[in-house]
């Protein structure tokens, strides 16, 4: 991940530049490799870079040949080679950066440019000739992005990767909507992402095709291995991360075999030259054939001693043959990190903080090992109805509507957690379940196929797609007990003592009297537990009031529980009792 700031229509751009640099410095943790800025007209762009692709070039802001167009972007564009080849008009690329293609796309397609991108991104682009700024965010909001305004500069508009960059200048801040683009020429923000599944009222009827589901997801994982730096996989031992790890390991082994073959034939040097990235890279025909070769795939897990996820992750790693790193943390470690976690998350949502803390601690250790990118399993539970509360869905229409709602709001919770917990340490997380093509396939499956029944565990069709037990001679993707392991929310799976400790400590910080007298400025957003109240107090100590407008609390549907933990749902207890 990188960090960006864009300041459009400030009264005096040159005079405002020092302020813009202070703003972007607040998110330097996202991009510790280099800093850059651009000033033209009444606009300032500033950038903090984490180099993953185009490491030896690609410093930002990126510009066209006469520097009349400048771009500050955070993200990865997986189809950049295809875009470069398919441009109608010749364009002189200055770098090997995957993100540079956004400039010629804008020159050809104007505000429709994001429609052609396959990746995760937030960007601010300034067109000097038109004195025009456009800003856009990826379809699901995998990368964090905010927009703000200042009453002291009513004509100005501000953009940044994180809240902390804006709140010293802006008194109104929103989370920039995913799948949208802003155009300063009209002052409007419009939706460019228009998938067939967007309207929840249109309940799909397409039967599941297990082969298509499997192959589309495999492609989604492979394209996210595009990197020129060491990478790994986050492996909790649950279904989603285990499938990601399995596919990544298969690709790693395939690449190893391909490299050995090329060495024998003396073709390695030529392949490197042709690819422009890694060993072979994602080629011009969009064939996902190779990426940077690593001799062994690294996998990472974290938990309290003897946590449910830790045991499962070790079993998966052993089965796959990854180089596994099993990290443990203590409850004290987690409690000590809470304030830092909330500072980086910029949220007071209970389930997000619970799950982010171990992820935050793990990310620090991963970065210390020299790894700069990891694959993660976010999004699957929203797509397939994997949360245990989906057992209570009254019918397939309600089930489908809830999956659409959850996917649309991922930027408020799981994407926010994955993005900010890792980028706090200059680590990038990529999420293949949120691939555009995979979403088009998976969200258009008849929700009848996704329903949880007496004979079907949650996410049954995903499990079945990767169940090769009835395919003669096929190598299994995962051990059967992992493939059909029941859902554990990450905050539960790292060890049940973690949530218990958070609740116990909240009791020490929040009294019954405080619960009865919440702050008047909280208005209708009143914490309903002492744990939620405790987090809100810490958030208020770190951020001014305008930042709270961007926070939405996660709670399960069809349930009256105030605790979002999967363990708090009766189904969790019942299912484990049945398997004893």
Write out the binding residues for ATP: 234, 302, 376-377
How large is the greatest C-alpha to C-alpha distance in the chain, in angstroms?
76
Burial class (CB in 10 A: 0-12, 13-18, 19+), 266: exposed
Distance CA(154)–CA(275), nearest Å, equals 48
Q: CA separation (Å) from 433 to 222, 231, 235?
A: 12, 18, 15
On whether the CB atoms of residues 237 and 482 are closer than 8 A, the answer is yes
Q: Which residue is it, tokens 């093509």?
A: 437
Chain centroid to Cα 164, Å, comes to: 19
Q: CA separation (Å) from 4 to 93, 115, 334, 426?
A: 21, 21, 29, 14
The yes-or-no answer on residue 547 being catalytic is: no
Q: Calculate the CA dihedral of residues 552, 553, 557, 561 and round it to 10 degrees.
A: -160
Q: CA separation (Å) from 328 to 70, 116, 186, 300, 311?
A: 44, 42, 52, 11, 12
Residues placed in the known binding site: 98, 234, 302, 376-377
Q: Which residue is it, tokens 């909330």?
A: 342
In the DSSP assignment, the letter for residue 486 is P
On whether the CB atoms of residues 210 and 464 are closer than 8 A, the answer is yes
In the DSSP assignment, the letter for residue 62 is E
From the list 2, 27, 99, 415, the catalytic residue is 2
Hey, which residues does 183 pair with through a beta bridge? 134, 188
Distance CA(445)–CA(442), nearest Å, equals 6
Backbone φ, ψ for residue 208 (5° rounding): -70, 135
On whether the CB atoms of residues 145 and 137 are closer than 8 A, the answer is yes
Distance CA(317)–CA(271), nearest Å, equals 31
Structure tokens at 177: 């909507």
* 3-state DSSP of 197-260: CCCCCCCCCECCCHHHHHHHHHHHHHHCCCCCCCEEEECCCCHHHHHHHHHHHHHHHHHHHHHH
Q: CB-based contacts of 164: which residues, under 8 Å, 6+ apart?
A: 26, 27, 343, 346, 543
Q: C-alpha angle 60/62/66, rounded to 5°?
A: 140
Distance CA(461)–CA(471), nearest Å, equals 16
Task: Determine the 3-state secondary structure of 141 from DSSP.
Answer: coil
Around Cβ 340, how many Cβ atoms within 10 Å? 15
DSSP-assigned states of every residue in 144-212: --EEEEETTEEEEEEEESSGGGTTTT-SEEEEPPTTEEEETTTTEEEE----TT--TTS---BPP-HHH
Residues annotated catalytic, as ranges = 2
């Amino acid at each position: 991940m990188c960090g960006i700031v864009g300041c459009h229509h400030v009264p005096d751009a040159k005079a405002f530049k020092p302020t813009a640099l202070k703003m972007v410095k607040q998110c330097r943790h996202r991009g510790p490799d280099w800093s850059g800025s651009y000033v033209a007209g009444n606009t300032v762009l500033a950038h903090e870079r984490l180099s993953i692709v185009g490491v030896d070039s690609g410093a930002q802001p990126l510009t066209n040949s006469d520097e009349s167009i400048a771009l500050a972007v955070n993200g990865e564009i997986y189809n950049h080679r295809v875009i470069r080849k398919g441009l109608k008009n010749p364009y002189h690329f200055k770098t090997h950066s995957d993100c540079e293609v956004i400039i010629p796309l804008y020159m050809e397609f104007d505000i429709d440019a994001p429609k052609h991108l396959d990746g995760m991104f937030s960007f601010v682009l300034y067109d000097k000739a038109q004195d025009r700024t456009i800003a856009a965010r990826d379809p699901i909001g995998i990368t964090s992005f905010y927009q703000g305004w200042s009453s002291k500069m009513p004509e100005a508009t501000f953009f940044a990767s994180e809240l902390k960059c804006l709140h010293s200048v802006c008194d109104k801040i929103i989370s920039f909507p995913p799948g949208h683009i802003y155009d300063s020429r009209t002052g409007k923000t419009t939706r460019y992402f228009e998938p067939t599944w967007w309207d929840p009222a249109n309940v799909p009827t397409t039967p599941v095709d297990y082969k298509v589901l499997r192959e589309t997801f495999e492609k989604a994982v492979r394209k996210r291995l595009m990197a020129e730096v060491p990478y790994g996989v986050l492996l909790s031992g649950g279904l989603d991360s285990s499938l990601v790890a399995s596919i990544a390991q298969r690709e790693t082994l395939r690449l190893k075999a391909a490299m050995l073959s090329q060495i024998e034939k003396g073709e390695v040097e030529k392949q490197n030259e042709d690819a422009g990235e890694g060993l072979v890279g994602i080629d011009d025909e969009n064939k996902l054939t190779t990426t940077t070769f690593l001799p062994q795939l690294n996998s990472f897990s974290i938990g309290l001693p003897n946590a449910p996820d830790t045991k499962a992750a070790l079993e998966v790693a052993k089965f796959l043959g990854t180089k596994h790193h099993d990290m443990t943390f203590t409850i004290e470690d987690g409690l000590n990190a809470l304030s830092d976690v909330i500072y980086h998350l910029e949220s007071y949502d209970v389930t997000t903080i619970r799950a982010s803390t171990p992820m935050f601690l793990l990310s620090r250790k991963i970065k210390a090992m020299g790894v700069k990118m990891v694959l993660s399993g976010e999004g699957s539970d929203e797509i397939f109805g994997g949360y245990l509360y989906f057992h209570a869905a009254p019918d397939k229409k309600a089930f489908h509507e809830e999956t659409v709602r959850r996917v649309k709001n991922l930027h408020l919770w799981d994407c926010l957690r994955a993005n900010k917990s890792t980028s706090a340490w200059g680590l990038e997380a990529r999420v293949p379940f949120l691939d555009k093509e995979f979403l088009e396939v998976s969200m258009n499956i008849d929700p009848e196929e996704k329903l949880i029944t007496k004979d079907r565990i949650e996410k049954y069709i995903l499990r079945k797609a990767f169940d090769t037990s009835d395919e003669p001679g096929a190598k299994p993707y995962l051990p059967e007990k992992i493939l059909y392991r029941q859902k554990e929310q990450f905050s539960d799976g790292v060890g049940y003592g973690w949530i218990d400790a958070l609740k116990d400590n909240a009791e020490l910080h929040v009294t019954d009297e405080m619960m009865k007298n919440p702050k008047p400025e909280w208005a209708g957003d009143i914490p309903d537990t002492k744990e939620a109240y405790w987090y809100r107090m810490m958030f208020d100590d770190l951020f001014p009031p305008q930042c709270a407008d961007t926070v939405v609390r996660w709670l399960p549907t069809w349930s009256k529980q105030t605790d979002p933990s999967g363990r708090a749902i009766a189904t969790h207890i019942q299912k484990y009792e049945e398997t004893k």
